[in-house]
């Protein structure tokens, strides 16, 4: 059988999407209706028994079916002020469900995604989200509350994630940057989400793992969202599924791009790219950078295994406040995930196992306490830096060193360039928050590896 290759990306591939799953009407065909079995996307296209979406909702999926009018009300007619973001599917708006809307549905803020009928993703993407997120419940997958299916309208209602997507948090130009332990916590959370999908009896391949599809709640708990491109993985004897190449440039696995062969290992590659973004603070593709640096994987992969070079590619916004051992181990793991040979990549559950112990490493330098005091009648702020560690070291040195010195040094090994901290520019909203600051604000949920 001739292999079909589609080397474009989802935003320019509407036909590819439509050919596999037709959008002929509100009837969903299913062959397997046993409540104990998860209905997969492939079941739906099978010409077997038919099931309406509302039947599906009642029997297999505990989803609320909303009327368009209701969603208009809760989003203030999809007002601009409620706009949260937009990908290839359509705009997403914040809404608020009150106690009276539906019996059994608690009052809560929600996010409402509206299928853009002129957009390039279609009914199939909407259906994929309903089928997968309607049945797969996990602490690190966004919770789908319900949907709307009225004439040509397709909408999805999710739990609201207060801190939006990881892309905005990681690459924002102002404000404090994400601390090291928070980045680790995000990586572990999403790895758990992917591991859960891959280890289902019928494995699910997520296919579009990237920072804009990772959502964060108030405590920076990460959840994988946007299941529009998710698909059933190979089962039984099959080694892969062959599909149109869809995904996002900079994240898709090389073998998937060249052959269309999709396995759970394609997700592992994309996870490796996100891990690299968390380490370096650089985007997977940045056309503004010179030459090789445009593509993050191409640029960073050769540097990941060299501990001396690793320091140079770490996100400068971390200001050296990360565990050296943790960074090395994370980089080595990213290297494995980014292997060109899918079989050499680790499974997502092994990724979780490798990352979780890194949360308890204590070789994270105590950062300088930076306090910016704006002076009256003068726009120049005074920057006070209290560098506790160095003061302590100085005292120990004055006292002639001893046991305490050794203990302190083993906990906080010196790292190149770290003793001479960069001057903190008195910029508008620059602030340095340590993990400890966030921990104090957000409590133990920030690092809890159990979630
Ligand atoms: N549940 C949510 N809570 C908060 N913001 C959300 C939520 N869902 C989506 N968003 C915002 O909308 C953007 C687009 O959503 P996404 O589901 O990725 O849509 P698309 O399928 O169009 O890519 C996200 O990157 C995020 O900024
Ligand atoms: Mg998206």
- Is residue 13 a part of any domain in this protein? no
Catalytic amino acids? Answer: 208
Residues 103 and 220 in one domain: no
- Is residue 174 a part of any domain in this protein? yes
C-alpha 69/C-alpha 31 separation (Å) is 33
Q: Which residue from 17, 84, 112, 221 has its CB within 8 A of the most atoms of ligand 1, so it is best to mutate?
A: 84
Residues 195 and 344 in one domain: yes
For residues 121 and 89, is the Cβ–Cβ distance under 8 A?
A: yes
Residues 179 and 286 in one domain: yes
- The CATH number that applies at residue 120 is 3.30.200.20
Q: What is the CA radius of gyration of the chain?
A: 24
Q: What pLDDT score was predicted for residue 88?
A: 81
pLDDT tens for residues 203-256? 999 999 999 999 999 999 999 999 999 999 888 888 888 888 888 989 999 999
Q: Which atom of ligand 1 is nearest to the CA of 90?
A: 22
- Is residue 27 a part of any domain in this protein? no
Q: What pLDDT score was predicted for residue 218?
A: 98
Q: Mean pLDDT throughout 14-26?
A: 33
User: How many domains does the chain divide into?
Assistant: 3
CB atoms within 10 A of CB 165: 22
- Is residue 6 a part of any domain in this protein? no
- Is residue 219 a part of any domain in this protein? yes
Residues 81 and 185 in one domain: no
Average pLDDT, the chain: 77
Q: Which atom of ligand 1 is nearest to the CA of 225?
A: 17
Q: Which atom of ligand 1 is nearest to the CA of 167?
A: 25
For residues 335 and 351, is the Cβ–Cβ distance under 8 A?
A: no
Ligand 1 atom 5, closest CA: 164
The ligand with the least distance to the CA atom of 91 is 1
Checking if the pLDDT of 428 tops 90, the result is no
Q: What pLDDT score was predicted for residue 368?
A: 58
* CA nearest to 209, candidates 230, 233, 189, 188: 230
Residues 324 and 189 in one domain: yes
Q: What pLDDT score was predicted for residue 156?
A: 96
Residue numbers of the domain that contains 401 = 369-406+417-433
- Is residue 87 a part of any domain in this protein? yes
pLDDT tens for residues 146-177? 999 998 899 999 999 999 999 999 999 888 99
Q: Is 363 exposed, middle or buried (0-12, 13-18, 19+ CB in 10 A)?
A: middle
Structural tokens at position 396: 């120990």
Residues 373 and 283 in one domain: no
Ligand 1 atom 13, closest CA: 85
For residues 110 and 136, is the Cβ–Cβ distance under 8 A?
A: no
Q: What pLDDT score was predicted for residue 64?
A: 92
Q: What pLDDT score was predicted for residue 56?
A: 61
Q: What pLDDT score was predicted for residue 316?
A: 95
| d(CA 417, ligand 2 centre) in Å | 39
Give every CB contact of residue 251 below 8 A, 6+ residues apart in sequence.
Answer: 208, 209, 210, 269, 270, 273, 274, 284
| d(CA 204, ligand 1 centre) in Å | 20
Residues 338 and 280 in one domain: yes
Q: What pLDDT score was predicted for residue 65?
A: 92
Checking if the pLDDT of 341 tops 80, the result is yes
Q: What pLDDT score was predicted for residue 358?
A: 98
pLDDT tens for residues 264-316? 999 999 999 999 999 999 999 999 999 999 999 999 999 998 988 999 999 99
Residues 105 and 144 in one domain: yes
Q: Mean pLDDT throughout 17-25?
A: 31
Q: Per mean pLDDT, which range of 55-59, 106-110, 118-122, 233-237 is the poorest?
A: 55-59
Q: What percent of the chain has pLDDT over 90?
A: 55
C-alpha 123/C-alpha 147 separation (Å) is 13
Structural tokens at position 272: 């490796």
Confidence of residue 332 (pLDDT cuts 50, 70, 90): very high
- The CATH number that applies at residue 252 is 1.10.510.10
Residues 391 and 348 in one domain: no
Residues 285 and 352 in one domain: yes
Structural tokens at position 202: 């019928």
Residues 150 and 229 in one domain: no
- Residue identified by tokens 């999926």 is 61
- Is residue 324 a part of any domain in this protein? yes
Ligand 1 atom 19, closest CA: 87
Residue 283 has phi, psi (to 5 degrees) of -75, 150
Q: Which residue from 71, 87, 123 has its CB within 8 A of the most atoms of ligand 1, so it is best to mutate?
A: 87
Cβ < 6 A, ligand 1 pocket? 84-90, 92, 111, 113, 142, 158-161, 164-165, 212-213, 215, 225-226, 228
Residues 355 and 290 in one domain: yes
| d(CA 367, ligand 1 centre) in Å | 33
Structural tokens at position 266: 């394609």
């Amino acid at each position: 059988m001739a292999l079909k290759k589609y080397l474009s990306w989802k935003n320019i591939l509407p036909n590819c999407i439509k050919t596999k799953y037709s959008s002929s009407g509100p009837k969903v065909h299913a062959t397997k209706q046993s409540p104990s079995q998860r209905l997969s996307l492939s079941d739906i296209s099978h010409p077997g028994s038919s099931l309406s979406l509302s039947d599906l909702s009642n029997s297999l999926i505990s989803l609320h079916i909303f009327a368009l009018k209701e969603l208009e009300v809760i989003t203030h007619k999809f007002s601009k002020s409620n706009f949260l973001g937009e990908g290839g599917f359509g705009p997403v708006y914040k809404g608020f469900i009150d106690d009276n809307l539906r019996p059994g549905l608690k009052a809560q803020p929600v996010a409402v995604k509206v299928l853009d009928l002129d957009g390039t993703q279609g009914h199939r993407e909407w259906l994929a989200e309903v089928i997968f997120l309607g049945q797969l419940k996990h602490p690190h997958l966004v919770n789908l509350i319900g949907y709307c299916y009225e004439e040509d309208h397709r909408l999805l209602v999710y739990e609201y994630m207060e801190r939006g997507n990881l892309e905005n948090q990681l690459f924002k130009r102002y404000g404090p940057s994400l601390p090291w332990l928070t980045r680790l916590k995000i990586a572990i959370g999403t790895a758990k989400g992917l591991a859960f999908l891959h280890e289902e009896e019928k494995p699910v391949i997520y296919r579009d793992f990237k920072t804009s599809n990772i959502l964060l709640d108030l405590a920076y708990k990460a959840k994988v969202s946007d299941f529009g491109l998710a698909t059933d993985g190979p089962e039984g004897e099959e080694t892969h599924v062959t599909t149109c190449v869809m995904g996002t440039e900079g994240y898709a696995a090389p073998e998937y791009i060249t052959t269309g062969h999709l396995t759970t290992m394609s997700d592992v590659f994309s996870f490796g790219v996100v891990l690299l973004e968390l380490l370096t603070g650089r985007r997977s593709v940045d056309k503004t950078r010179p030459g090789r640096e445009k593509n993050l994987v191409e640029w960073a992969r050769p540097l990941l295994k060299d501990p001396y070079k690793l320091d140079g590619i770490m996100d400068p916004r971390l200001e050296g406040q990360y565990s050296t051992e943790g960074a090395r181990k994370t980089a080595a793991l990213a290297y494995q995930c980014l292997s060109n040979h899918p079989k050499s990549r680790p499974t997502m559950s092994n990724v979780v196992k490798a990352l979780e112990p890194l949360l308890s490493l204590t070789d994270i330098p105590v950062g300088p306490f930076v306090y910016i005091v704006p002076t009256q009648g003068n726009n120049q702020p005074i920057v006070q830096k209290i560098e506790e560690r160095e003061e302590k070291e100085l005292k120990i040195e004055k006292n002639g060193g001893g046991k305490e010195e050794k203990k302190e040094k083993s906990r906080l090994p010196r790292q190149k360039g770290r003793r001479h901290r960069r001057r903190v520019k008195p910029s508008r909203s620059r602030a340095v928050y340590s993990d400890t600051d966030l921990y104090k604000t957000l409590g133990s949920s920030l690092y809890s590896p159990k979630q």
